[in-house]
Structure 1
Amino acid sequence: MNGRRIVLVGNPNVGKSRLFAMLSGHYAEVSNFPGTTVELISAPLGPDRLWDTPGIYGLSRLTEEERVALDAIRQADLVVNVVDGTHLARDAFLTWHLIDAGLPVIVAVNFHDELIRRGMTVDTAGLSRLWDVPVVLLSARTGDGVEELKRAIRKGGRVSSRASQAVPILPGRSRLESLLWLEEDSEMVRALGRSPAPGSRQAQYIERRTRADEAGQWVTNADNRADPTRRLGYWLMTPLGGGLTLVIVLALVYWGLGVGVADWLVGHLENWANALVIPLLATLVGWLVPPGSWPYRLLVGQYGILSAGVLYLGALLLPLIAGFYFMLAVLEDSGYLPRLATLLDRFFLRLGLNGRAVIPLVLGFGCVTMATMTTRILTTERERRIATILLAWTIPCSAQMGVIVGLLSGVGWIYALTYALIILGLFIGIGTALDRTLPGQPSPLLLELPPLRWPSWTGLWEKTRWKVGAFLKEAGPLFLIGSGSVELLDMLGVLPWLNRALAPFMEGWLGIPGSATAAFLLGFIRRDFGAVGLYAGGLDPHQVLTGAVTLTLFVPCIASTLVILKERGLRQGSVIWLGSIALALLVGGLVARWGPG
C-alpha cells in the first residue's frame, strides 16, 4: 500500500481544499468560489501522495477543470469523493459516475457542522449500502470526522459492485475508458475510430441522474427551519441589494486599504524606516566599504538593494499586499464573489464575456500573471482573448493598486475618483469594442452558488499568510535585483542619459519630470515597482494622477508578459504588449491636458 496516489474529487465548493489541508497539514488554496483551483496541488500523506483536483460535476473533458481532474483520476490508486451533505442528491451524480467508472472510492460527506445547524441528519450506513463503498461523515471546517477518514484511507477504498450494467467493457479498454467512449468523449471516439449509438450519452446521464436523486432519501430534515442566509444570498443578486452591497464593499475596501493601511500604517512604517533602519544600514555598510563607492551605492543608494528592500518592499508593499489579500480572502470565503458574478453577468455580456469572467478579473487585482493563466476556465477562445486583453491593459495588480491607492489617498478624493472613472471607462470601452469586432458570442453563465458562510479566522490567516509568502518569494528577489539594476544604470550614466533623452517627451506630452523614467523601467520589472518610483518622485497631485493612469495602462511586468505570450501565442501576445504601450501614452497625454488640477 506504500506510495499510493490518493486523489480528492468533488463538485466545486464541497470543501476539498480545506479537507486537503486537514489531511496533509499543507495549505491549499481554499475559496468559497467556483473555479479557484485550476491546477493540481499535492502533498505527502504518510507513505502516500495526496492530490487536490479542481471542482467538477462529472467525468468528461468539456472544460479545463475536467481535463485536469480526469488526468489525475485516471492515475489514482484511491479516489476520495468529497460531497456536500446539504446537497447530497446533487453531488451523488459525480459519485455514481466514479462508481460506474470502476474506480476504488471512499465517499467523504462534508459539512457535518452545517447539517447540525440546519437540523439535518445523514444515514451514512444506508449510503454505504447504497453505493457499496466506505462512507465517512465529517466537517473539514471543524476537523470532526477527519481522523475517521484517515483510518478509512489507510484501509483503502473498494470498487463498488453497484456499477451500472449498461456500460459495456470494450476489448482492451478499462471500464473508465469504456464509459468515456459511451458518453461520446471526443478523444476516446478518435482513439477507437467509431462512435457509440446516437443518444447514448443522454441516456447514461438520465439514468445516473435518477439514481443520484435516490440518494436524497438518506438525508432527513428534522425541523424544516428556515435558512436566513439563503434569503440574504438571493438579495445580494438583486439590482438594488447587490448594487448597494457592492458600493458598501468598495467603500470598506477603500477605507480599509487606502486610509487604514496605505495612509496610517504605511506612513508610520515609512517614517520609522527612514529615521532608524536605513541610516543604520548605511552606517553598517559604511564600515565594510567606503561611503560613496560603487558597492556602497549599489547596497544603500537611492535604489540600493538593501535600502529599497527595507523601505519599499518591507515598509510600503508588504502591508498593502497583506491588507489586499486579507480583504479578498474575506470576499472569497464568505461566498460573496459568485453572487457578484451572477449580479454582473448582464454587464459582462456587453463586454463579450459572462459573469464567470469575474473570477480571472478579480484575481487580476491580486496578480495579473496568475489571473492570465486562470482565463483557461473561460469556455471559449474568444472569451479568453477578451479577458487577457482587459487584464493586460486595464487591471492593476494588488501591489500596484495598493501603492496607487496610497498615492491617491494623499492628494484628494477628486483625483482618486477621476482615476477610477478613467480606468473603469476604458475597461468598459475596450471590452465593448472587442465584443463588437471579434466574431462570436459570449457563452451563457453556468455557475453554482455556494451558501453564504462566516469565514474562518484560521482560514483567512492561512490564506493571507500563504499568498503574502508566495508574493515575497516571487517578487522579493526580482524587486531587489530590479532596484539594484536601476541603481547600476544610474551609476553607469545610462539612467541619466535615458532621463535626458526622454525628458522632452515625458515633460511635453505627459507633464511628468524626466526623472520619472526610472519608474517606468521599474514598472516593466514589476508593475508595482513603477508605482513605488512615483511614490518617491515628489510629484504634484495632477502629475500623480497622470503617472498613476499611465503606469496602470503601461506594459505588464516581465512575468505577466511571458505568460501572455505563452497563453496567446507570439503574434497575439506581441500585439497585446505593444497595444498597452500605445494606450498608456495616449491616455496619459490626454489626462495631462484635461485632468483635474
Structure 2
Amino acid sequence: MKIKVILFGHPNVGKSVIFNKLTKLTAIVSNYPGTTVEIYEGTLEYCGHQIVVVDAPGAYSLIPRNEAETIARKILFDENYKIIVHVVDATSLKRHLHLTLELHELPFPVVLSVNQVDKEERLGIKINKEKLEELLGIPVVFTVATEGKGLEELLKTIITIAEKLDNKYLVRKTSTEKYLSRIEKYISPKLSSKNKIFSKAIAYFTVFNDKEYSHLRKNIPPAINLEEIANKIVTNRIKVVEDIYREAVQEGEEFFKVSLVDSLLVHPVKGLIITTSITLAIVWLTLAVIHEIAHRIPSMIYYSIYKKIVWEQLNKILPENIVKYVLIGDNPGVYSSMGLLTTGIFFVFFMILPCLIVLYFVLGVLEDSGILPRLIVPFDCPLRRLGMCGEAILPIVAGTGCSIVGVFSTRILKTKKSKFIASVVQWIGVPCMAEQVMIWFVLGSHGPAYVLLLYIILLLVTILVGFFLNTVIKGVEEPLVVELPPWRKPLLENVLAKTFLRVKEFLLRGTPLILAGILFVNILYYTGAINALAEFTSPIFSGLFNLPKDTVVAIIVGILRKDVAVGVLKSVAPQLSPLQMLTAITITTLCFPCIGTLVVSLKEVGAKQTLLMIGLMIIVTVITGGILGLVSSIKP
C-alpha cells in the first residue's frame, strides 16, 4: 500500500528533523508551481508499505497570512487521501493546539506528534498522553526527533490508520460543528466536485473571510451574521484549548522562568546590539573558513590537477574555432578564458560549491541550535522600515559569502515586496566574500579609512534605496510571528542531511543557469561586443565619473565576476587617485551583479522584476558615481 503523509505544523518545531530521520537522503526538493516556496518530499519502505512523506512549509494557521502558509494549505487540498502528522513542540503545546483544532475541520486523519518531550522534565512539564488522546480524539505520539525516539511508534500509528480508513480517528465531531453546519448548507452547492469533501473546512474559511473563498459569502443570507459567528468560534476554540490543556498538562515552576539570554536577545535595543555583534562574528568567521578551506584548497586542486588535465590537453587537441573558444577559451587564465570547461567548471565546482557547503553547514548549525530565530527578532524593527521583515537578515548575511546564495535565500521571505527589496539589497549593497577580499587588497592599499568609507557609502545607499522602495511599493509586511525554539545541541547527522539537500538543489538548478550566463558573456567577448560597449560608454565614465577610459572594461568585466573587476582595476591603479579608486570600486559594487546572480535573479523574482532592478541599479549607480566623481574632481 502507498501511504501519503503530510508533516504539518509551526516553523521550528522539528518537522525537518523528523522528515530527514524518516526519509534519509531520498528527498526531492521542488518549488510549488508558480512560487519559490520549497517543498520537500521523500519515501521510505516500512512493513511492506511505501510511505511518501511531504514536509509542508511552516504554518501557524490554515487561514494564510503569507505565501508559505498559502502553499502549506494548498498541499493539503491538492493531494488525494493522506494522513496529517501535526508536529508540535512539547514545551509550548497550548499555542499549537489551536492549529490542531483547525486541522480537525479537514476530512483526513490527524496524528499529533508531540516532539521534544525530553525537554518536559527539565521545564517541569507533564503531559498526560492518554488524556490528550481522549480529549482531542486523535492518536498522540511522543517523539524526540533529534534522537529518533518515538519515530517507530509514529510509523506504526500511520500504518494502523491507513489500514483502517473507517477508524474512530477519521470522523470527528468538532466544537465548531453547530456554527459551520449552517454555512456549509449554503456554500456546498457552489463547490466543485473535487472540493465538496472539504465543504466543512471551506465553510470555516468563508466565515473568516479568507481571500480565496470570500466570494462564497454572497451565497449566505444577510440574516446570518458571519462576524458574530467568527467571534463565537474564536471564543469557543480558546475555551476548548484551555480546557484540554488544563486537563492534560501540568506545569512546574521552571516552565515560567524566562531565560536571561532570551530576554536580552529579543530586547529592541540590547538585542540589536548583541545580535549585530553575533551576526558580524558569524559572518567574518565563516568568511575566514571559506577563504582558507572553501576557496584556497579548491583553487590549488584546480590549478595543480584539473587545469593540467583539461585545459592543456584540450588546447592541444581542439582546432582553433568557436567550439574551442566556447569550451576552454583562448586564454589559460581561469577568469579570463570564460570557457565552459574552464571558467564554468571553476566557478561552480571549485569556488561556489565549496562556499555553499560551508555556508549551508553554518546555517544548519544556527537553525538546529535555536540561534537563527533569535537573530530575526531584534532586526525586525529596523528592516521593516526598509520594507523587509526581520527574516531578511538571513539572505543578507548569506550574501556576504556569495551573492548567488543570498538571492537564493530570499525565497524564505514571505511576501513579494520583501523578496524584491532583499534582492535589490543583494545587488547593490552586499559585496560577496571574493569581492571583499579584493577590495581590501586594492582599495586597502590606500589605507583602511577608504575601505571603511566604501562600506559607509554602501550602507547609506542601501538605507536610502530601502526607504524609497518601501514608500513606492504597495503592500504591508505581516507582523513578525516567530516561535523561539528551546536551545539545543545541533546533531551532525541532521545538519549534514540538510546541507546535502540544499547543495543538491543548487547543483540541479543553479549550475545550468550559471553555465548559460558564462556562455552568454563568452559570446559577447567572441563577437567583440564588450569592446564596442566600452568605447560607447567611455565618454560617460570620463565626463560624469571622472574616471579614465581604461576603467570601463574593468567595470564591464564585473558582469562576469565582481572580484575580477576589482582586480583588473589594480592594473590601472597608477592612473587613479585614492578618491578615483574609491569611485571606481563603488561603481563596480553598485553596478550589474555577476552573471550568476543575474541569472538566478531572473528565476527567483522573474524577468519583469529583474528588469526593474536593473533600471533602479543604473539610476543608483549614476547618481552615486556622479557625486563621487564630482568630489574626486575637486582640486585641493
With the shorter chain as reference, the TM-score category is 0.7 to 0.9
- Confirm or deny: 8 A CA contact 1:183 1:204 kept in the other structure: no
Q: Percent identity?
A: 25
CA apart distance, 1:500: 3.8
Q: 1: distance between equivalents of 2:7 and 2:293?
A: 44
Q: Equivalents in 1 of 2:516, 2:285: separation in Å? A: 31
Corresponding residue for residue 467 of structure 1: 502
TM-score scaled by structure 2? 0.78
Could you tell me which amino acid in structure 2 is paired with residue 98 of structure 1? Answer: L
The secondary structure found in structure 2 opposite 1:166 is: helix
For the 8 Å contact 1:555–1:580, the answer to whether it is kept is yes
Match of 1:514 among 537, 541, 552: 552
In structure 2, what is the Cα distance between the partners aligned to 1:536 and 1:319? Answer: 24
8 Å Cα contact 1:184-1:201 kept in structure 2: no
Structure 1 stretch displaced more, 150-159 or 190-199? 190-199
1:163 counterpart = 2:174: yes
What is the CA–CA distance in structure 1 between the aligned matches of 2:477 and 2:505, rounded to whole Å?
34
Quickly say closer, same or farther: Cα 1:552–1:73, change in 2 above 3 A. Answer: same
Q: Tell me if structure 1 keeps the 8 A contact 2:407–2:604.
A: yes
Within the alignment, does 1:407 sit opposite 2:430 as a pair?
Answer: no
SS at match of 1:284: helix
Q: Which residue of 2 is the match for residue 199 of structure 1?
A: 228
Distance 1:9 1:507, change over 3 A: same
Deviation at 1:361, TM superposition (A): 5.2
SS in 1 for 2:378: helix
SS in 2 for 1:209: helix
1: distance between equivalents of 2:361 and 2:465? 30
Q: Deviations over 1:176-210 (max 9, x none)?
A: 23333344445445236334523111211111121
Matched, 1:564 2:605: yes
Contact 1:83 1:91 in 2 (8 A): yes
Question: 2:116 is matched with which residue?
Answer: 111
State the partner residue of 1:33. none
Task: Give the corresponding residue for 2:486.
Answer: 451
Deviations, residues 134-179 of structure 1 (Å, cap 9, x unaligned): 1110112111111110111111272254422424433445332333
Query: Equivalent of 1:220, from 230, 242, 250?
Result: 250
Distance 2:474 2:527 in 1: 50
After superposition, the C-alpha distances for 1:517-562 in whole angstroms (9 at most, x for unaligned) are 552442xxxxxx4444545664558777555543443346033135
Deviates more, 1:4-13 or 1:21-30: 21-30
Task: Sort the Cα spacing of 1:268 and 1:576 in 2 relative to 1 into closer, same or farther, 3 A.
Answer: closer
Tell me which moved more, 358-367 or 104-113. Answer: 358-367
What residue ranges of structure 1 are gaps of 5+ in the alignment? Answer: 31-35, 379-383, 523-528
Q: Residues of 2 paired with 1:373 and 1:279: CA distance? A: 39
Q: Distance in 2 between matches of 1:289 and 1:574?
A: 38
Q: What amino acid is aligned across from residue 580 of structure 1 in structure 2?
A: M
Task: Check the 8 A contact 1:262/1:405 in 2, yes or no.
Answer: no
- Structure 1 residues 21, 592: closer, same or farther in 2, change over 3 A? farther
Query: Within 5 Å, which residues of 2 pair with 1:288-303?
Result: 288-290=317-319, 294-300=322-328, 301=331, 302-303=337-338
C-alpha separation in 2, matches of 1:419 and 1:72: 46
2:618 and 2:507 mapped to 1: Cα distance? 27
8 Å contact from structure 1 (residues 348, 354) kept in 2: yes
Specify the alignment match of 2:192 in structure 1.
none
Q: Give the CA deviation at 1:497.
A: 3.3
Separation in 1, partners of 2:437, 2:249: 52
Q: 1:255 aligns with which of 271, 284, 293?
A: 284
CA RMSD between the two structures:
3.7
Q: Corresponding residue for 1:7?
A: 6
Normalised to the residue count of structure 1, the TM-score between the two structures is: 0.83
Closer, same or farther in 2 for the Cα pair 1:321/1:168, shift >3 Å? closer
Give 1:356 deviation, angstroms.
Answer: 5.1
Letter in 2 for 1:463: K
The alpha-carbon deviation at position 213 of structure 1 amounts to: 2.0
Unpaired segments ≥5 residues, structure 2: 30-34, 163-168, 189-195, 332-336
SS at match of 1:395: helix
Structure 2 matches for 1:20-35, cutoff 5 A? Answer: 20-26=19-25
Q: Which amino acid aligns with 1:175?
A: K
Query: What amino acid is aligned across from residue 111 of structure 1 in structure 2?
Result: Q
Kept in 2, the 8 Å contact 1:5–1:48? The answer is yes
Instruction: Decide which moves more: 19-28 or 108-117.
Output: 19-28
Partner of 1:149: 154
Cα–Cα, structure 1 residues 434 and 108, in superposed 2: closer, same or farther, change >3 Å?
same
The match for 1:176 is: 201
* CA drift at 1:316: 3.1
Q: Which amino acid aligns with 1:516?
A: A
Match of 1:344?
379
CA contact (8 A) 2:112 2:138 kept: yes
Change (3 A) 1:194 1:221: same
C-alpha contact (below 8 Å) 1:101/1:179 kept by paired residues: no
Deviates more, 1:79-88 or 1:165-174: 165-174
Letter in 2 for 1:150: L
Q: 1:564 to 1:233 in 2, by over 3 A?
A: same
- The yes-or-no answer on 1:480 pairing with 2:515 is yes
The counterpart of 2:614, out of the listed 567, 573, 577, is: 577
| CA shift in 2, pair 1:200/1:425, >3 Å | same
Does structure 1 residue 81 correspond to structure 2 residue 106? no
Distance 1:362 1:202, change over 3 A: farther
Secondary structure class of the residue paired with 2:219: coil
Question: Given residue 58 of structure 2, which amino acid in structure 1 is its aligned partner?
Answer: G
> Are 2:272 and 1:234 aligned?
no
- On the 8 A contact 2:62/2:99 being kept in 1, the answer is yes
Aligned length in residues: 571
- Kindly state the Cα deviation for residue 294 of structure 1 after the two structures are TM-superposed: 4.5
Partner AA of 1:391 in structure 2: A
**Structure-2 separation of matches of 1:543 and 1:460:** 45
Mean alpha-carbon deviation: is it higher for 307-316 or for 199-208?
A: 307-316
Who is 1:381 aligned against?
A: none
1:534–1:323 Cα change, 3 Å? farther
Q: Is the 8 A contact 2:116 2:144 kept in 1?
A: yes
Paired residue secondary structure (1:450): coil
Partner of 1:526: none
Relative to 1, partners in 2 of residues 1:240 and 1:192: Cα closer, same or farther, differing over 3 Å?
Answer: closer
Deviation at 1:214, TM superposition (A): 2.6
Question: Partner letter of residue 519 of structure 1?
Answer: V
Cα deviation per residue 1:240-260 (whole Å; 9 max; x = unaligned)? 642442343244235324434
Distance 1:130 1:119 in 2: 22
Question: Hey, what does 1:274 align to over in structure 2?
Answer: 303
Q: 1:134 to 1:427 in 2, by over 3 A?
A: same
Instruction: Read off the aligned partner of 1:135 and give its amino acid letter.
Output: V
Correspondence 1:303-382 to 2 at 5 A: 303-355=338-390, 357-358=392-393, 367=405, 369-371=407-409, 373-375=411-413, 377-378=414-415
Secondary structure at 1:153 match in 2 = helix
SS of residue paired to 1:72: helix
Contact 1:298 1:487 in 2 (8 A): yes
Q: Distance in 2 between matches of 1:258 and 1:595?
A: 32
1:51 aligns with 2:51: no
User: In 2, distance between residues paired with 1:59 and 1:130?
Assistant: 21
| Counterparts in 2 of 1:150 and 1:399: CA distance versus 1, 3 Å | farther
Partner Cα separation in structure 2 for residue 275 and residue 24 of structure 1 = 39
> Is 2:427 the counterpart of 1:390?
no
1:92: Cα distance to partner?
1.0
How far, CA to CA, are the matches of 1:554 and 1:394 in structure 2?
12
Mean Cα displacement is larger for which, 546-555 or 154-163?
Answer: 546-555
Q: Rate the CA distance shift 1:207–1:138 in 2: closer, same or farther, 3 A.
A: same
Comparing 355-364 with 14-23, which one deviates more in the overlay? 355-364
Give yes or no for the alignment of 1:98 onto 2:103.
yes
